[in-house]
Amino acid sequence: MADRNAEQDNLFKEIDEDLRQQKYADLWNKYGKVLIGASIALVLGVASIKGWEAYDINRRATDSNLLSSALKSIDRANPENAVAVLDSLIKNGTAGYSLLAQFNRAAILAKKGERERAIENYLLIAEDMRIEKILRDMALIMSAHLGLAGTDSNIFPGKLSKLINAENAWRHSAKELSALFAHKSGNEIKAHKLYKELSDDATAPSGIRSRAAEMATLLSNRN
């Protein structure tokens, strides 16, 4: 009886194995091509990603070398050559190096005395919504610094006022510049108010607080 049970068990196992193999065969016939296609797609996808990463690394290396050559040209007092290289980077470089090139181009123009063109370049960065806000705001601060020396500086106080809030990283610089523009326009009451706020602001950098305190005292003595 035991032998018969053992034989039956073996028979059932064989039948079960045959059924499993048939089931796998049916599944393979039904889905094999799809699985092969998916595997090929996966391999090609990984290869494409790796290929793009290598290409992107090469591009960044090239852009880095171009930026380095531009900065060396500046050091050698050859700004025209630097501007040409930076223009190429702005048009064709990867996003990060293109942005660095824009900042450096504006700085070169300012150094050459082309203040209005430098301001225009900084404002282009400040108004480009594809760029991170903290960098756009920095470009606005830099353009405002240059704007102080100009006759037409009315555009800056309104722009700077948007940066004067507790969350903005450039709020102290924006407030100091706003005070300078107010003072320049003859509005000493507003200038004094802004300088006093800065001098009392424990979160402001020490240099800005010190300058603000001096200006607040100076304007108080005048009034």
Beta carbons of 147 and 156 less than 8 angstroms apart: yes
Using an 8 Å Cβ cutoff, are 56 and 94 in contact? Answer: yes
Does any domain span residue 82? yes
Cα separation of 218 and 223, whole Å? 9
Three-point CA angle 94, 95, 101, nearest 5°: 85
| 21 occurs within a structural domain | yes
* Element of type H or E holding 19: helix 2-75
Quick check: is 220 in a domain?
Answer: no
In a domain, 122, yes or no: no
Question: What is the per-residue pLDDT for 95?
Answer: 76
Averaged pLDDT, 113-140: 92
- Least confidently predicted of 151-160, 162-171, 205-214: 151-160
Q: 123 in a domain, yes or no?
A: no
Bigger pLDDT: 74 vs 195: 195
Q: Determine the pLDDT at residue 166.
A: 83
Parent domain of 78: 12-112
Contact 204, 213 (CB under 8 A): no
Q: What is the pLDDT, as a whole number, of residue 221?
A: 76
Which of left, alpha, beta for 152 (phi over 0: left; psi -120 to 50: alpha)? Answer: beta
- The residue ranking higher by pLDDT, 96 or 163, is 163
Q: Is residue 151 part of a domain?
A: no
Cα–Cα dist 67/184, whole Å: 37
pLDDT at residue 153 tops 70: yes
Task: Report if residue 202 sits inside a domain.
Answer: no
Assess if residue 137 is contained within a domain: no
The two structure tokens encoding residue 212: 């603000």
Report the number of distinct structural domains present in the chain: 1
Q: What pLDDT is recorded for position 208?
A: 92
**pLDDT value at residue 116:** 92
Predicted pLDDT at 112: 84
In angstroms, the CA 66 to CA 89 distance is 7
Gap between the terminal Cα atoms of the chain: 119
pLDDT band at 62 (very low <50, low <70, confident <90, very high): low
Q: What is the pTM of this model?
A: 0.67
- Select the highest-mean-pLDDT range: 9-18, 97-106, 160-169: 160-169
Is the Cβ–Cβ distance between 159 and 140 less than 8 Å? yes
